[in-house]
Amino acid sequence: MAQVTRVTEHGGGVWSIPVPIPDNPLGHTLVHLLDTDRGPVLIDTGWDDPTAWDTLTAGLAACGTSVADVHGVLVTHHHPDHHGLSGQVREASGAWIAMHAADAQVVRRTREAEPSRWLIYLEEKLSAAGAPEEHLAPLRAGRAAGRAGLPGQRPALPDREIVPGELLDLPGRRLRAVWTPGHTPGHVCLHLEEAHPAAGEGMPGHGRLFSGDHLLPEITPHIGLYEDPDDTTVIDPLGDYLDSLERVAALAPAEVLPAHQYAFTDAPARVRALLSHHEERLAGLLTLLTTPLTPWQLAESMEWNRPWEQIPYGSRNIAVSEAEAHLRRLVKLGRAEAVPGSNPVMYQAM
């Protein structure tokens, strides 16, 4: 039976339900429930998994409601630990699903793409980044065997759009969308522009912020190149993320309710720490780039939470994407450049 004792009531018609993520060190996604005059609205839903579903439904019961009563689902971003159960919630309740247009487009392309498209894209991308043959071989073997690639490639299509800057249509509540691209192109935070329940106790700040993965108390969210095989736009996701952090700091919410770990205060201080972290990391990469390196070689040389040889196969792909995002930022800032004629392309500090 799913455990529901960890459901947390945050006051003012807000609860959080920790929904487990299978085989993931993050442990769970904090699905937030917001009471409205038309019924409960969920902010994210958790991973599409039977145990996660059982935990979500039991958690809703512990909050005094049920999945059948859910009025709507607000998705902070399209990743499967946030959007995964949205379709099942809609089937059980008739709820609408809302998402920023940029992430909705990713969902649409993912649903419409040929099953093998992801493996082809990933092989081409990693090859261009300088990945060794032994890393590319499993992708080629998977394609030859007819494997489709990543699971969860049929996510639910949203039927409403979250428009940045606008108040959402939630009777009895003031919840405003804040576009915070970086982790994904359409990531949104949601600012509850209502007095914090502890405001009378002198808590400083303005309302509460549902921050998704954008702002977490201890974790630096992954910032990589957006994985969309059919989008060739030259982007700067790290630059987007840093700008988005500044936007959130300016809101100065009294409390942040993130999608992982735990609620926390002093968002501006956390933003300052993240800005410093990325500036230090960019400076460190410039030191590495005194010798020309491919994105793969740069990822091998970067500091991670474990030595490179201990990083699993799939996580290496994510690490290379993060290295590429940092390279894009350095190039845009005029602090690094591609080495002319190099193939695979190498980068060097300027």
Q: Which residue has the higher pLDDT, 305 or 144?
A: 305
Q: What pLDDT is stored for residue 152 in this prediction?
A: 47
pLDDT at res. 92: 97
Residue 245 in contact with residue 291, Cβ under 8 Å? Answer: no
Listed residue (277, 281, 271) closest to 335, CA to CA: 281
Lowest mean pLDDT among 107-111, 189-193, 273-277, 287-291: 107-111
Higher per-residue confidence, 144 vs 32: 32
Positions of CATH 3.60.15.10 in the chain: 8-106+155-271
Task: Tell me the residue type at 8.
Answer: T
212-233, pLDDT tens digit by residue?
999 999 999 999 988 667 777 7
Q: Are strands 96-99 and 72-74 parallel, antiparallel or unpaired?
A: parallel
Mean pLDDT of 36-55: 96
Nearby residues of 3 by Cβ (< 8 Å), 6 or more positions away: 55, 58
- Whether the per-residue pLDDT at 25 is higher than 90: the answer is no
**84 CB neighbour count, 10 Å cutoff:** 25
pLDDT at 76: 98
Give the pLDDT of residue 3.
45
Higher pLDDT, 142 or 319: 319
What pLDDT digit, counting tens, does each position of 295-314 carry? 999 999 999 989 999 999 98
Mean per-residue pLDDT, 189-210? 90
Q: Is the pLDDT of residue 147 over 90?
A: no
Please tell me the class of the 8-106+155-271 domain.
alpha beta
Least confident of 24-28, 39-43, 143-147, 230-234: 143-147
Confidence check: pLDDT of 2 > 60: no
How many angstroms separate the CA atoms of 272 and 286, rounded?
A: 21
- CA-atom Rg of the chain in angstroms: 21
Q: Which two tokens stand for residue 205?
A: 């700040």
**Mean pLDDT, the chain, as a whole number?**
92
Distance between CA atoms of residues 116 and 103, nearest Å: 21
